Amino acid sequence: MDTTTVLLTLTIIAGLYMAWNIGANDVSNAMGTSVGSKAISFKKAIMIAAVFEFLGAVLVGNHVTDTIRSKIVDFTGIENQTLIMGMLAALAGSAVWINIATFLGLPVSTTHAIIGGVLGFGIVWNGIGAVKWGTVGYIALSWLISPILGGICGYLIFIWIRNKILDSENPLRNFIRFLPFVLFFSSLILLLSMFFKGLKSLKLDLSFPQALGLFSLISLVVALVFSKILTSFIMKKIRNKQLTEENNDQYGKQYHVIEGTFKYLQIITACFMAFAHGSNDIANATGPIAAIVSSLGSNLMKDNQIPVWILGVGAGGIILGLFTYGYKVMRTMGEKITEISPTRGFSAEFGAAFTVLLGSKLGLPVSTTHTIVGAIIGIGFARGIAAINKSVLKNIFLSWFVTLPAAAVFTVVSYLALKWFL
């Protein structure tokens, strides 16, 4: 078997392994809080996430990412086969670290792991001078910016829901009153976030004001239609439970109806996040495969688009990882950081979506994984610091800081093994 065939085979295996790890670790961002709040069972969450991740990956995930390698390391003058082996080692090494983190139930950024892998290869190839440390430092800012912004947004959203609805004199009446407002802004932020993050590969020629205007109209229609539907649903619940809007002695029943309605909003938010994740983050697995295939001189790459077979490897690996190992990190996100109800889960997911949108438009380095963890911390903090599991958070934060060097070390080992093997 010639070297090209060996490298291509190893690339597909490493890409599938990376995709499996993305499914096992990263997809918890979308569904962990929905499972933790009991809005949906784990099995149903797996099915829903699989469908929307697959749709996002296959329908709009066929883009080659803006090459991470050129931003992190100066590869001027490198030989083609050395670069191929290095990218393959980075793919394998970063996947190994994500696998370890998943085994420990720790949510880590797959993008940061890939960056750590490229960093490790750059150092072993040409020393620390080849690394663009300014860019690395900028990326490291996301360790602080993402959880802080996510935490603030999640906290403020839940505090608003608690003050205006849950702790008001008449929770049910206020919920019905504010429902169109909640639906409008939820729809608007989710659509904008998905458009600028999940659908950026489509390269639709819409400026932010144009997108804002278009999605505001769509969100207005959504708010008007679904507020009517949900209000009818709530009134049916009221009749079935023999409770009235004015009967404050039955606060528990009113609270149950409100939380029950927020379950649906939380599930819809999770579906949006899963679709956006599938369309955007699948490139962490398919992008390196496509780059290596192209560098091998294959005619399988055309017009800078990822072929269907590579998308199949990525989407299939993500779904397989989700089904076989997704429960570990999902349990951490949904149950181990803080107690989550549907209103809190919605606040966390919506806060994360808003943070991702804000970060993308302000040019801030924002990690989706770090953002949703921060948002979960924020909703927990709204109940007091005692409501947060600090030992779990300590382990999560430590894993974030270890991700870059750990992925780099595993990449160096993988690269040296490849050099020996080939």
Say how many C-beta atoms besides its own lie within 10 A of residue 229's C-beta.
10
In this prediction, residue 209 has a pLDDT band, given cuts at 50, 70 and 90, of: confident
pLDDT tens column, 348-386: 999 998 888 888 777 676 788 899 999 999 999 998 888
- pLDDT of 205 > 80? The answer is no
**Stretch 164-171: mean pLDDT, rounded?**
88
Say how many C-beta atoms besides its own lie within 10 A of residue 127's C-beta.
9
Helices and strands per DSSP (H, E), number in the chain: 17, 0
Structure tokens, 51: 């469908």
**Residue written as token pair 């956006």:** 276
CA distance 368 to 353: 8
Please tell me the predicted confidence (pLDDT) of residue 301: 53
> What does the DSSP 8-state code read for residue 336?
I
The amino acid at 256: H
pLDDT tens column, 37-81: 988 888 888 888 888 888 887 776 655 554 566 678 888 888 888
- pLDDT of 9 > 60? The answer is yes
CA distance 366 to 368: 6
CA distance 93 to 97: 7
